[in-house]
Every structure is written in structure tokens, then in C-alpha cells.
Structure 1
Amino acid sequence: MAIPKRFEESFADITALATRFGENEAAYLSSKYQEAEVRQDFLDKFWLALGWDIYHQEHPNPYEREVKIEKSVMVGDRGKRADYAFYTAPNFLQARFMAEAKKPSRQLENQYDCFQAMRYGWNSNTPLAVLTDFEQFIVLDSRYKPTVERSLSGILEKFHYTEFGDEEAFRKLYYLFSRESVGNNSLEKYVEGLKKAKGKKTAKAAPAVQIQPVGDTFLSELDVHRENLARAFKRSNNELDGEELTEITQRTLDRLVFIRFLEDKLVEPSDIIDRLGKKSGSPWRDFANEIPRLNQVYNGIIFKPHAILDSPNFAPNNKTFDEVLAWLSHKNSAYDFNSIPIHILGSIYERFLGKTIIVSDKRAKVEEKPEVRKAGGVYYTPEYIVRYIVENTIGKLVEGKTPDEIAKMRFADIACGSGSFLLGIFDYLIKYHVDWYSGGARTLLSARLRSSA
């Protein structure tokens, strides 16, 4: 099936899909008809009809695919992956929107499914998210931190499959989610229109929920828990000075966040944080007992034994530690570390490192480091600037070189911070090697050799 290029073609293809669904509606709404089937029979074809390269015909390079399709992965009773992530060239690192698929037999407009789709969108830093079973197509606002209780209020648009054959209704959907429209920033223009409309209605009233990107929200909440944890550590261990308190508080949070990262990436098979306290009755004791195993597996500084933190006699206030665990617990959490772009995680960590804990008597508070305060804050290089600099430095340096020649090269960023440039270089080299082994770079090298002969 060729990728449609025009509205008329898309309308005809999706109308045909809707007709087919209607003719066999009872079978498709049966509980026996599964999500994997509706994706194959309808949703993949739906997105293809909107112009998306769903089968990677135009973008065979696995690192430059505009549609990333995940197999449904369930751990316990939770889905761990958005079903579709959509990208546009040249930036294949930042998704434009996410879509979550469900089987048609369920009532789609429910709190948890809407929350799940919004959660994928918010963590991926996309303005909108889609929830669909083909029978229904729901557009959700993913600019806000999602909660189960408020998820239904995030519904912005709803389409029923019977409307897909209505040209006027379909036109609205097409000019919002077709590949051509998304490439022309249709989603951003749509939410900008929402701001203007809301401003007219509530010019004098403050909105109940403010738009806050996932990185800013997570860092703000992380700072609150860091200060509370530092105070709890200080109350239980009054001899700790500011440097020690900064180190052990940061190490504790580093461990917990990294564990949650491993869970969301499916590296760790079970929900470690959720079951802390269920074995011994003490969450802190279970946490301490888990560290040696993790240190053996990951062998890094995060889980390396710490003289103060891992002492048998060290323990924080249980209530404070429980609050941190509840915040990071997977159950109904707004955060999904599998979806948060790596450059946003880098920005969070770099700003996190820019603060320290100041102590006086039994009190502790978080403040910016003096050098950060003097500089006016921590500055993190945006991903698109990293990509531009890497392409015009490392890109020109390795251009036309063979993998063996590149293997002899070394790349360093002495003041790397959270490593954004090193990650950018690694990503560029991966793509370069994929292109080389698929023939692109060798063709370039042959052409250069011929021109110099």
C-alpha cells in the first residue's frame, strides 16, 4: 500500500476502513477481538492513510524512523510502552505526538486509559496525545502533569469512526494529524489557539492547573523531597555536616531515581520501589538490603558502598522516606522514565547538581551553589544546538572515513556536565555507522576517491 500524498487519497482510504469496520462491527466489538488485531487490521492502515511511513518504506534506517511502533508490553497490570510514537525529519529524538491503542470492546473514555495516554505524551514533551481503538479517536491535552482524577478533563476532541466518512469532520482530523500537517507544526498551532481561546474566557481568572514541562515539574518536586530527606537525615544524625548531608541525600535520590529508570526501561523485571517494606516491614531496611545486589549488577558509583549511608546504624525518619517512595512508586505515577527524552533527563540532573545543602544546628535547607548563583543559574545546552554543533564538527571530522579509521579516534568533553555533547556524539556515530554499512558512506567515499584520482 503506497503512502497517500493528498487529502483526497487519505479521505478515500480511511472512508474504506470505516466502511469495513461498520460492516463487521459486532465482530470487532467482541471481547475476543484483541488490541494486536485492531492495530494490524485498522490502526496501522489508518496512520498510513494519513501519510505516515508506518512500514518504514521511506525511512528504513532504524535510527531515522518517523513512526516507532511498540509491541504491547505488560508488567503486572500495567502497560509499559506507548504503542506509537511519531517523529518528523530531521529530529528523530523528539517525538511530535504519542498514540495509545486499545481494543474496541472496552469503553475507551475512562479515567485510567486517558491518564495513561496523557502520561506518555507529557513525559515525551509532546503537546497532544491520542487514545484510539479505531471505533473512537480521542485527542488529549498532554501539556499538564497528568492525574487519574483529572484525566477526563484533558479531552480536547472526539471522533467516532462513523465520522471518518464525513468530509468536514475528517478534514479537521487530517489537518491536525497527517504527516504533512504535523511537519508544518499543526499541533503547536492548535494548542496555541487553545491558549488564546482560554484567555478570552478567563482573562481575569488564574487557571486551575498551570502548564509545566515534565523536566521543570520533576526537578521542582525532587528539590522538595531532597530538602525533606536532608532534614530527616540531620535530625537522626546531628553530627553530619553540609558536605556529608549533600552527598548522602543526593546518593539516596540518585539510587531511587535510577531504580525507577531501570523499572521503566524493563531492565529490572519487578517493581522494586513498590515492594520496599513488604519483606522486613521496614522500607529503609529493604532498600539497604537491595543495594549490594544492584551494585554487583551495575557496578557503578551510585550503588557503591558508602561509609555513612550504608552503615547498619544509619536510618532516616521512616515517614519522610515513605513519602519519597510514594512519590516515585509506579502506581498511578505521572512519570515514565522510558518516555522522557534523554536530553531532558540530562537537564534535570545538571540543574540538580547545581544545588547544595546548607546546615545549621539541626536544620537543613537546599540552596544554589555559590558559583551557580553568581553565574545566574545552571545553563543546559538544548538538544537541537548539541545536534547542530556535533553535525558541524564531529560530522565533518568523520565524513568519508571508514569504521576502522573512526575506531582509532577519541572524543572527549572535559567539562561534560550531564554528558549532553558526548551523548550527541555517540548518537551521531551510531547513525553514521548504520549509514555506512547500508552503503551510503561507502558510496560517498568512492565518489571522493574518483574525484581525487
Structure 2
Amino acid sequence: MSDFDEAHRLVSELVQDFRAHEHRYLSPEYQEAEARKDFIDKFWKALGWDVDHNIQKNPYEQEVKVERGQDQAGARKRADYAFSLTPNFRDVRFFVKAKKPSVQLENADDYFQTTRYGWNSQNPLAVLTDFEQFHILDCRYKPSIDTALSRAVPSGKFHYTEYLDAEKFARIYWLFAREAVVAGSIEKFAADMPKPRGRAVQRGLFPGGYQSIDEAFLDELDEIRADLARGFKKTNPDLGGEDLTEIVQRTIDRLVFIRFLEDRLIENQHLVASFGDKGTAWEDFIAASRKLDGVYNGIVFKRHAKLDDRDFAPDDALFSAICEDLSHINSPYDFNAIPIHILGSIYERFLGKVIVATDKRARVEEKPEVRKAGGVYYTPEYIVRYIVENTVGKLIEGKSPAQIVEMKFADIACGSGSFLLGVYDLLIRYHTKFYNDHPGKAKKGEVVERDDGLHLTLQKKREILLNNIFGVDIDMQAVEVAQLSLYLKLLQDETPGSTRAHQLEFHETLLPSLNKNITCGNSLIGTDILERGYVFYGFRSTS
């Protein structure tokens, strides 16, 4: 019996079970968690995926990431299933959103959420299913609630009784079965999908002119920067270009970081959406910044001499409108689905421009060095990964955490931190695999057990970051972004429970200061610098 025939047999058994007790399964009392356990998990297992992690135990080396949380009123949860392929576990190939069968599957909100998962992770397809129905959605367009219901793939809707038809089931199997995805089924399918016409055409990287997440978000950040620059200058005419560049970026960094905390469910409140509810958007924003600084620390929320000054008075209506557009309610961006390295590449290009101010106006221009070079050039993530795995990866191979703690990895022209982020990610994955392979060697406070295996604690990830990662760049804005990216990586898998537990146990803020690790300076120095008494934090002479 072929893999396809076996899958069809297993799914046909699920169909018979569902049909025999359809009245119960379509009852509102039958919950999503039950549907997933009874049918949806088994459906994907039949297609060859290790949903239960019977084979892949290491949580950082699992092809199927399963989110067991439930929808919260007024909130957006993470995608229920994220599917990837060995060894690129971070590269999601497609997402699946699950619902309970009693819910009408074809609704704008669920279509919007599902397509946003795919678009933000740069995947052309996603699936929305309750087992009774199976809908394949086109994620190449920038998500919009107004057009969400038009995103179903032609002939991509199936009723569970159609799974019995081998020909119709084959359309699902040869697109989403593990063996099919390995063979490039999704890419081939997307290449044959209808191309946009007329006003639907967008600038970007997807075949056919669809705008990718990085292009779209960069465009939005550019618009926000220009609006904030003009608004800040209008109400604070004494601000020069350098100050405007700095405080506008810090404002944007805070908004992005808050949205990250919201979408990762680390913060339960939707702060960005609430700014301006009482007509005091800027005041609310500054108050939240002070509160978040006390919880998180780090450069992002630290008090800024001009930005946090009580006399600084921006246009409140303008800032309120920006927050409304960027809020979880209206924004197409899902910061739980956007890979952190994508955010880094966006910021790399974002930093290629500065704000130039005259007596009354402010405008955004390319930096002279960027203009001269013909644009910003950044290293693609797959090249970063290859270099890191074949340098740092080879260096730490076979070593224990106790040996690695003595090692220092530095990028002396780190920019926005793409290589540092790659090294930090590798170290986290290496330590996690080590402790899952040797659980008896983990010390107290280094790991925590979850449903899918052992995870590093926040404290252990802080320790790795402070002990191993160092960088220097001459551009202070780049240093700020590098620190921001590393902070996002540090918090990536945290939850409200894990962050609260850390605070109760260690009585400290969640983020360590990276001012001694990632610093602003010129790496081109003379040999006389040692004679001047400079001290390099974390390093010692080997002579």
C-alpha cells in the first residue's frame, strides 16, 4: 500500500466517525480543542507529519509547532499549526488555523487572520479547517478585512465527505502531505496560481507582483517616519535633523516592540490600540513607556532626554491616527508570524535614511553614503545562516554549555545585528538540543519542561546573550536596532507565565542591559589604544 493509499484509508476512517456522530460534532458544546484532538491532529498525522512529536523531541527541531491556546475575546492568538521541514525548522512552509465545526468557517475575521499568518511569514498558502470543511487560502496579497472573503483558492474548498473521493483527496494530499511539501508542491502550486491584474498589482517579491511583507512594512515605516518628523517639527520647531532622526526612530521602536509583546501574547493588554481612547494618545504612550521600562529595561523604553520630556508636545491627533493604523485591530501585520530576521532586514534598509530639518520643515532623505553606494545592501538570511553554521557551528560542535560560556563572538561592524542574531539563535538551539539530549546535566534554573520538551529559561537565554554576544557599530541608530533585535529573540518563546515567574524568582527586569555588549564606536583603531587605558568588557588578552 502506498503512502497515499494509507493516508486515504486513515482519513476515510475519520470521515466515517464524523458522519456517524455528526450531530454531536456540530453542536456548539463540542469545542475546538476536542475537534483538534479527535480529528484535525489525526488528519495531519495521516499526511505524514509528526504532530505529536513522537520522533522529534527537541522543541527547536520539530517540523510541526502546535499552539494549544484558545481564542480570547477580542484577541488574536497564534496560528494553531506551523509546518516546516528539516533542517530549516525556522522556515515555516504553511500555517493552519483550526476552528470548532459548529462555527461558520467562511467568515471575514477568520479568513483575515489566516491569510495574515501566511503573508507575514512570506508563504503563499494557508489552511483554515474545522475538519468538516477544509479551505485553502491565497496569502500573496496584503491582508485586508474588506477583501478577506475573496482569498479562497479556486477549487480549494472541501467538505469532509469529499475526502472519501480519492481524486479530490489527492488534491489535498499532493499539496500538503509531507512528502509533497518536500518535493516543492507549494511553490509549484503558487507558481501556477492566477496573477493579479490592473489595480490589484502590487510591488514586491512574490511572483506576479504581489507585495511581500518586508516591502510593505518598510513602506509603512517610511510613511510613519515622515509623518512623525513633520508632526514633531511642527509643534517643536527648535528640533534639528539629528534630534528628529533619533526621537522618531525611538518612537517607532517602542511601537514595534509593544506590538511584538502583544502579538506574542507576552503582554495581555492591547496597548497600541488603547492609545488615544481618552484623547491623550501621546500622554498614554509616554506613561506606558515608563511602566514598560520598569518591567523590561533595555534601550527601547529608557527615558530619553527630549522624547520623554514633559514639555515635548507632538500633534496628538496625528499620533493617535498612527497608533490606530498600527493597532492589532486595523494592521495587517502579525508580529508573532514575522520572522525576527525579516524585521532586521527591514530595519537595515530603514536606517539608510535620515531626517533633514530646516527652520520650519522636516523631510526624509537617503544618507549621503547610501546615495553614493546606490542603496542599502544587506546580507540575505540564508547566507547569514550558512556562514554562522559553518563557523560558529563548527567551533562549538561537541562542546558542553560550560565550555561555550567561556567563548566570545563579536561582529566589529555589526550594523543592525543580522550576524549577531544568527549566532544567538544558533547558541539557543544548540543549548536546547544539548539539554534535551542530556536532561540530567541541566542545572536548576537553566531549563523548563513544556509539552513539547525542555526549553531554556529566560534566565539561561539572558546568560548566553551577556556572556557570548558582542558587537560594535559606528552608527548609534544601528546599535539600537541590533539591541532591539536581540531583545526580540530573547523574548521569542516567552509567555506571561514565564516572564512573571522570572520576575518573582530573580526580582529583576526581564531584559538585561546590552550597553556593554553592543556598543557605538569606531572599530578602526590604532595599536596605541591599549596604551591609553581603554578596557574592553568581556575580553581578555591571549598574549
Alignment of 1:304-453 (within 5 A): 304-439=302-437
Does the residue aligned with 2:146 lie in a helix, a strand or coil?
Answer: coil
Shift of 1:104: 0.4
Q: Which amino acid aligns with 1:417?
A: G
Q: Structure 1 residues 206 and 286, CA, compared in 2 at 3 Å: closer, same or farther?
A: closer
Shift of 1:435: 3.3
Shift of 1:429: 2.1
Matched, 1:77 2:74: yes
Q: Which amino acid aligns with 2:275?
A: L
Asked whether the equivalents of residues 14 and 164 of structure 1 are also in contact (C-alpha less than 8 Å), the reply is yes
Alignment of 1:38-57 (within 5 A): 38-57=35-54
Does the residue aligned with 2:95 lie in a helix, a strand or coil?
Answer: strand
Shift of 1:60: 1.4
Q: Structure 1 residues 306 and 158, CA, compared in 2 at 3 Å: closer, same or farther?
A: same
Matched, 1:176 2:181: no
Question: What residue number does 1:448 align with?
Answer: none
Question: What residue number does 1:207 align with?
Answer: 200
Asked whether the equivalents of residues 72 and 79 of structure 1 are also in contact (C-alpha less than 8 Å), the reply is no
Matches of 1:426 and 1:286 in 2, distance apart?
34
Matches of 2:254 and 2:431 in 1, distance apart?
34
Matched, 1:255 2:248: no
Q: Which amino acid aligns with 2:329?
A: K
TM-score computed with the length of structure 1 as normaliser: 0.91
Matches of 1:288 and 1:403 in 2, distance apart?
40
Structure 2: 5+ residue runs without aligned partners? 203-208, 441-543
Q: Structure 1 residues 266 and 235, CA, compared in 2 at 3 Å: closer, same or farther?
A: same
Does the residue aligned with 2:215 lie in a helix, a strand or coil?
Answer: helix
Shift of 1:314: 1.2
Matches of 1:368 and 1:264 in 2, distance apart?
32
Does the residue aligned with 2:337 lie in a helix, a strand or coil?
Answer: coil
Asked whether the equivalents of residues 343 and 382 of structure 1 are also in contact (C-alpha less than 8 Å), the reply is no
Alignment of 1:66-215 (within 5 A): 66-156=63-153, 157-195=156-194, 198=195, 205=198, 207=200, 211-215=210-214
Q: Structure 1 residues 301 and 438, CA, compared in 2 at 3 Å: closer, same or farther?
A: closer
Asked whether the equivalents of residues 73 and 81 of structure 1 are also in contact (C-alpha less than 8 Å), the reply is no
Asked whether the equivalents of residues 259 and 335 of structure 2 are also in contact (C-alpha less than 8 Å), the reply is yes
Question: What residue number does 1:65 align with?
Answer: 62
2:283 to 276, 282, 285: 285
Shift of 1:380: 2.2
Q: Which amino acid aligns with 1:251?
A: R
Asked whether the equivalents of residues 343 and 383 of structure 1 are also in contact (C-alpha less than 8 Å), the reply is yes
Shift of 1:119: 1.0
Alignment of 1:236-251 (within 5 A): 236-251=235-250
Question: What residue number does 1:300 align with?
Answer: 298
Asked whether the equivalents of residues 65 and 92 of structure 1 are also in contact (C-alpha less than 8 Å), the reply is yes
Shift of 1:407: 1.4
Does the residue aligned with 2:200 lie in a helix, a strand or coil?
Answer: coil
Shift of 1:438: 4.3
Matches of 1:5 and 1:283 in 2, distance apart?
61
Asked whether the equivalents of residues 73 and 79 of structure 1 are also in contact (C-alpha less than 8 Å), the reply is no
Deviations 1:286-315 (A, max 9, x none): 112222212222222222222221121211
Deviations 1:376-424 (A, max 9, x none): 2222222211111111111221222222221111111122222222222
Matches of 2:266 and 2:433 in 1, distance apart?
28
Q: Structure 1 residues 73 and 375, CA, compared in 2 at 3 Å: closer, same or farther?
A: farther
Q: Structure 1 residues 5 and 326, CA, compared in 2 at 3 Å: closer, same or farther?
A: farther
Structure 1: 5+ residue runs without aligned partners? 443-453
Matches of 1:110 and 1:83 in 2, distance apart?
18
Does the residue aligned with 1:433 lie in a helix, a strand or coil?
Answer: helix
Q: Which amino acid aligns with 1:284?
A: W
Q: Structure 1 residues 30 and 75, CA, compared in 2 at 3 Å: closer, same or farther?
A: closer
Matches of 1:86 and 1:7 in 2, distance apart?
19
Question: What residue number does 2:268 align with?
Answer: 269
Matched, 1:235 2:234: yes
Matches of 2:369 and 2:80 in 1, distance apart?
44
Matched, 1:37 2:30: no
Deviations 1:69-126 (A, max 9, x none): 0012444422321000000111111100000000000110111111111111111221
Question: What residue number does 1:226 align with?
Answer: 225
Deviating more after overlay: 329-338 vs 185-194: 329-338
Shift of 1:208: 5.1
Question: What residue number does 2:502 align with?
Answer: none
Deviating more after overlay: 6-15 vs 345-354: 345-354
Deviating more after overlay: 334-343 vs 264-273: 264-273
Deviating more after overlay: 412-421 vs 107-116: 412-421
Shift of 1:18: 0.9
Matches of 2:16 and 2:369 in 1, distance apart?
65
Matches of 1:288 and 1:102 in 2, distance apart?
38
Matches of 1:358 and 1:302 in 2, distance apart?
23
Does the residue aligned with 2:114 lie in a helix, a strand or coil?
Answer: helix
1:20 to 17, 20, 29: 17
Please tell me the root mean square deviation across aligned C-alpha atoms, in Å.
Answer: 1.9
TM-score computed with the length of structure 2 as normaliser: 0.77
Asked whether the equivalents of residues 234 and 363 of structure 1 are also in contact (C-alpha less than 8 Å), the reply is yes
Matches of 1:276 and 1:99 in 2, distance apart?
32
Does the residue aligned with 2:192 lie in a helix, a strand or coil?
Answer: helix
Shift of 1:168: 0.6
Does the residue aligned with 2:402 lie in a helix, a strand or coil?
Answer: helix
Asked whether the equivalents of residues 140 and 155 of structure 1 are also in contact (C-alpha less than 8 Å), the reply is yes
Q: Structure 1 residues 430 and 252, CA, compared in 2 at 3 Å: closer, same or farther?
A: closer
